[in-house]
Structure 1
Amino acid sequence: MTKIAIVSDSTSDLIDDIVKKYDIKILPLKVVYSDVEEYRDRIEITPEDIYERFDKDIPTTSLPSPEDTINLFRKLEEEEYTHVIVTTISTELSGTMNMIRNVAADFKNMVFEIIDSKALTMGLGFPVLEGAKELEKSNDFEKTVQKIKDTIKNTEVYFVVKTLEYLKKGGRIGKVEGTIGEILNIKPIISINEHGIYYTFKKVRGRYKSIQEIYNLVKEKASDKMVSIAVAHGNAYEEAYTLLEKIKELKNVKDTVFTQISPVMVVHTGPGLIGVVISKHNE
């Protein structure tokens, strides 16, 4: 009998209720302080823990440990799973997918499909969620894989940060330009291209206008097609929630998710991120 597992990593920012409802297995990346303290993302550390220490200590991040990955796959094997679908953070932002592929090669009794979301946060989360819904409906490996891949193609990520400092420090700046613009209070709206690399989608002066521009983007994308929308934030609850409430009033918004970015994401973006993920539905 076919038994299929859905696996993702902690940068998907899927809320606990969704993870539990669809039995999604999550591999945690790590937050590392001074190469000594290591914490599993979302399990052993919270975003608030990082904000509290930012003034004196900015951590780095690392992949899920091979040991955690081996333990998860062993457990799936023991529970008689036959197929495993793993969808990960963009390979341009992390080596997570390559590590998982290497570990999976040793588990010959299960069929693996390992997919690069070319995104992160709910740009990864929505494909995983839609795949889990398809699996619940059909219990079909190929259909579930295809649903995930189709959702990836139809999902877009846009966000603003208070400062580009943390993206620069983490080496995750991609094709985003910023130093002179920051002096002029230019807030780039950052997106992720088809290769999974950050780039400047648009330059806007001031934070208020940048958030308004993100709302306008959602309004435009929802004008002629049903969409699911996620609003994600990093220590910017009130601004993000206000944006969410405005988005809920738009036509063609099928459903919404409100989430806080993972500690690993916080390390690379700093406090103040506001983001939206737009997932377009073909039906």
Structure 2
Amino acid sequence: MGRVKIVTDSTADIPKDLVKKYDITVVPLKVAIGNETFQDGVNLTTEAFYQKIESSEELPSTSQPTPYEFETVYRRIAENEADEVTILSIHLSSQLSGTMQSATLAAEEVKDAVHVDVVDSKRASYAIGIIVVEIAKLAQDGADVKACKERLNTLLEETKVYFLVNTLEYLQKNGRIGKASALFGTLLKVKPVLSLSEDGQVYPYFKARGRKKALAAIREAVNEQYGSKPVHIGICHANALESGEELLEKTTSSLQVESTTITEIGAVIGSHVGPESVAVTVMPAK
């Protein structure tokens, strides 16, 4: 059935060493700040991004790759492979971006050259990345497309993400607020725990009075869902490493953790959640 190659987009926020180690192809989205436009993770680092938005009066805006950009990537992969190849292209929730649409259109254009399965992760940031890395490991170990897709479908069902934002302003002004819009008017002293619904929209999981109760709510949720099962943990943060480490410590101390990854929320997702946001993703191990 040939090799399996993994493609994702820059919103997966996968650390560069893991991208290289597991041969993952990352297609960048774009970020506009004032009159400047950048490719996420290519000519704009996360550090530079957060510095820029601190000094900018305008909120940043984002845009998805074009179908042609995806087509170029797919054809390059096919041309570089001596043997038959299948591409699994795993992307940001279609409820949050048009990236899926661009990838789907491109997959149709290249069907004469290579088979591409485009997958809506219904997730964002390292909630995508942690799954992509796991499937890339399988592919690198020689798993065929059937095995990769079976594992992918399981992980998409069983991996959960919870996140805290410092303000809902970024989500609201960028139109990604989803079902969390119900929180407006109730945010005095409330620290909402947000998550992503089954269809990939942002929704309020829990309305906590203060950060301590928010962390307790996340801990209770992951303990109830995973108990003593072995898990992998992904922590991502928007220029807030200490908060990310606190989230890891406070919410997963009673879990059977096989591995942890701490990564930064990149410019695209950072444009929508804002500085100081943190998230924890819990993925079952085999």
TM-score range, shorter chain: over 0.9
Distance 1:66 1:113 in 2: 15
TM-score using structure 1 length: 0.92
User: Which of 102, 126, 132 pairs up with 2:130?
Assistant: 126
1:210 corresponding residue in structure 2: 214
Distance 2:272 2:121 in 1: 19
1:26 corresponding residue in structure 2: 26
Per-residue CA deviation, residues 6-25 of structure 1 (Å, 9 max, x unaligned), is 00111111111211111000
2:59 corresponding residue in structure 1: 58
For 1:90-101, list aligned pairs within 5 A: 90-101=93-104
Q: Does 2:92 correspond to 1:89?
A: yes
Where structure 1 has 5 or more consecutive residues not aligned to the other structure, the ranges are none
For 1:152-163, list aligned pairs within 5 A: 152-163=156-167
1:47 corresponding residue in structure 2: 46
For 1:85-234, list aligned pairs within 5 A: 85-107=88-110, 108-176=112-180, 177-182=182-187, 184-234=188-238
Distance 2:214 2:108 in 1: 44
CA contact (8 A) 1:123 1:277 kept: yes
Distance 2:71 2:277 in 1: 33
Shift of 1:246: 4.8
Q: What's the % identity of the aligned pairs?
A: 35
How many equivalent residue pairs?
A: 280
Per-residue CA deviation, residues 139-182 of structure 1 (Å, 9 max, x unaligned), is 31111122111111111111010110110000000001222222
**Partner SS for 1:44:** coil
CA contact (8 A) 2:94 2:120 kept: yes
Residues 256 and 48 of structure 1: is their aligned pair in 2 closer, same or farther, counting only changes over 3 Å? same
**Corresponding letter in the other structure for 1:140:** D
**Partner SS for 2:87:** strand
Shifted more, 272-281 versus 238-247: the winner is 238-247
CA contact (8 A) 2:236 2:244 kept: yes
Per-residue CA deviation, residues 181-216 of structure 1 (Å, 9 max, x unaligned), is 22x111111011111111110000122332343234
Distance 1:257 1:79 in 2: 31
CA contact (8 A) 1:86 1:115 kept: yes
Where structure 2 has 5 or more consecutive residues not aligned to the other structure, the ranges are none
Distance 1:248 1:132 in 2: 25
CA contact (8 A) 2:161 2:195 kept: yes
Shift of 1:44: 1.2
Shift of 1:225: 1.5
CA contact (8 A) 1:155 1:278 kept: yes
TM-score using structure 2 length: 0.91
CA contact (8 A) 1:159 1:189 kept: yes
Shift of 1:78: 1.7
Distance 1:203 1:245 in 2: 21
**Corresponding letter in the other structure for 1:51:** Y
CA contact (8 A) 2:163 2:195 kept: yes
Per-residue CA deviation, residues 58-99 of structure 1 (Å, 9 max, x unaligned), is 110000233432331221122025211100011111110110
Distance 2:251 2:262 in 1: 11
